[in-house]
Amino acid sequence: MSPEGGGPRDGARVVVITGASRGIGEHLARAFAGAGYQVEASSRRGGPGVAELDVTDGAAVRSYVADLLARHGRIDVVINNAGVIDDEVDLAASDPDQWWSVQEINVRGPYLMTRHVLPAMLEAGSGRIINMNSGAGTRAGEVASAYNVSKTALARITGSTHLAGRGRGVYAFDLAPGVVRTDMTTAMRAHDDRTEWTDPADVCELALALAGGELDAWSGRMVRAGADQPHRLRAAAGRGLGPDARRIVLEPYGDDDPLAT
């Protein structure tokens, strides 16, 4: 989706989208291209208009980001979308190698991309990083525990990115897409009887609003497609957000809890 050797079209903003060859990533790539962004799409296997990139390979990610910066001179938005889920079995039955592989892709991948993009964004004084998260990250999972763990960890990466960019023009968000009909979700037993699915258009609308700077007050917090609309999030931010609103925190058992702060 990026002209070979070409820079941004007429100064178009540059968005990097991982896991963009299918599913939600493909929807996002098309939506951002339609909105006038210069889309740099990647996936593990690559494809037409999609670069081949293993997000768990530190050297490959560093080289990929350096090449984009050399060609475009900027990266305005990153959407860390590449992700996988483990088998729907309980922790005792889980496969250790598969369990760790989920962390490599869902946690190390976004970390590496953020790590190598963030310095350029901070130097430019502008940038937005959107991590595709999940409500699964807010709770323990009876099955597919690796996925829940990875998404909780991803929220911490989002929070640390938010703190690194605070006051410096760089923002980070957790975007939970709800349950979009994809190869991954339709293969899950948890969704065997599902009749209602999140419209990909809702995911794209929210991602574009985050990328465009409409919802910067939500930096470091989670929003969910299908439940949240940009105008409602703007209104909520206008009324003021509590310090822990839409963040994963330790809930004290009462005012006398010694861990309460």
Catalytic residue among 111, 147, 171, 253: 147
**Contact of 35 with 42, CB cutoff 8 Å:** no
174/131 Cα distance (integer angstroms)? 5
Instruction: Count other Cβ atoms within 10 Å, centred on residue 84.
Output: 17
Q: CA torsion angle for 63, 100, 77, 131 (degrees, to 10)?
A: 180
- Rg of the Cα trace of the chain? 18
Catalytic residue among 64, 111, 151, 171: 151
Per the annotation, the verdict on 37 as an active-site residue is: no
Strand order in the sheet with 127-132: 51-52, 38-43, 14-17, 77-80, 127-132, 170-176, 222-224
Instruction: Count other Cβ atoms within 10 Å, centred on residue 7.
Output: 15
Which neighbouring-strand residues pair with 222?
174
Question: 85: closest CA among 185, 2, 160, 177?
Answer: 185
Residue type at 27? Answer: H
Q: Which residues are catalytic?
A: 147, 151
